[in-house]
């Protein structure tokens, strides 16, 4: 039996809420360890929950400077790979305090059904870096400035 779409949506809702609340601990709880993030230029392995928390917290000042106030999602596709592994394609929606769309990004996640629930093992970013640079440019935020 494959993982039901309702469980995937619930997982993504929890993930979006943790990002909206800048809650690195809750976000890290939604990952297996080690976890891997890859895009066109970089691959990174986060070997521990503490490393995940530190990485997430490091990005929060930039997100706040860009005006991020809430995160939503649209589940675009799922592919059951085994009874416990599913590949999902999700569009993240990043909004400002007025609810206006700041930007979006599309990512793939390999989710595993573990004893504690669904956990991400791998995230493949398709356009997040490009869209983040465009938003920063539009808002006059220097991505290379020391934080």
Q: What pLDDT was estimated at residue 2?
A: 82
Record the tokens describing residue 74, joined without a space: 């649209």
- Better pLDDT: 74 or 143: 74
CB of 97 closer than 8 Å to CB of 67: yes
| Mean pLDDT estimate for the chain | 95
Query: Does residue 147 lie within any of the structural domains?
Result: no
pLDDT in tens, 83-123: 999 999 999 999 999 999 999 999 999 999 999 999 999 99
Q: Is the pLDDT of residue 147 over 60?
A: no
Closest CA to 116 of 89, 86, 90, 84: 84
Query: Does residue 146 lie within any of the structural domains?
Result: no
Phi, psi of 27 (to 5 degrees): -65, -45
pLDDT confidence tier of residue 143, bands split at 50, 70 and 90: confident
Query: Does residue 145 lie within any of the structural domains?
Result: no
Q: Is the pLDDT of residue 47 over 60?
A: yes
CA distance 110 to 8: 11
Q: Span 58-70, mean pLDDT?
A: 94
CA distance 46 to 85: 20
CA distance 63 to 131: 13
Query: Does residue 117 lie within any of the structural domains?
Result: yes
Q: Is the pLDDT of residue 144 over 90?
A: no
CA distance 139 to 36: 30
Query: Does residue 143 lie within any of the structural domains?
Result: no
Question: What total of structural domains would you count in the chain?
Answer: 1
Q: What pLDDT was estimated at residue 145?
A: 64
Query: Does residue 9 lie within any of the structural domains?
Result: yes
The DSSP bridge partners found for residue 39 are none
Query: Does residue 99 lie within any of the structural domains?
Result: yes
Helix, strand, coil abundance in the chain, percent, nearest 5: 35, 40, 25
Query: Does residue 41 lie within any of the structural domains?
Result: yes
CATH at 120: 3.10.450.50
Q: Which domain holds residue 133?
A: 5-138
CB of 119 closer than 8 Å to CB of 136: no
Q: Is the pLDDT of residue 146 over 90?
A: no
């Amino acid at each position: 039996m494959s993982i039901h779409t309702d469980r995937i949506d619930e997982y993504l809702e929890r993930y979006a809420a943790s990002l909206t609340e800048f809650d690195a601990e809750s976000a890290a709880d939604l990952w297996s360890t080690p976890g891997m993030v890859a895009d066109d230029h970089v691959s990174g392995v986060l070997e521990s929950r503490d490393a995940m928390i530190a990485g997430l917290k490091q990005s929060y000042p930039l997100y706040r400077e860009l005006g991020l106030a809430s995160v939503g999602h649209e589940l675009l596709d799922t592919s059951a790979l085994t009874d416990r592994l599913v590949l999902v394609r999700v569009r993240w929606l990043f909004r400002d305090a007025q609810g206006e769309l700041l930007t979006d990004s599309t990512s793939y996640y390999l989710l595993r059904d573990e004893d504690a629930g669904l956990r991400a093992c791998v995230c493949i970013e398709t356009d997040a870096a490009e869209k983040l640079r465009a938003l920063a440019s539009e808002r006059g935020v220097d991505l290379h400035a020391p934080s």
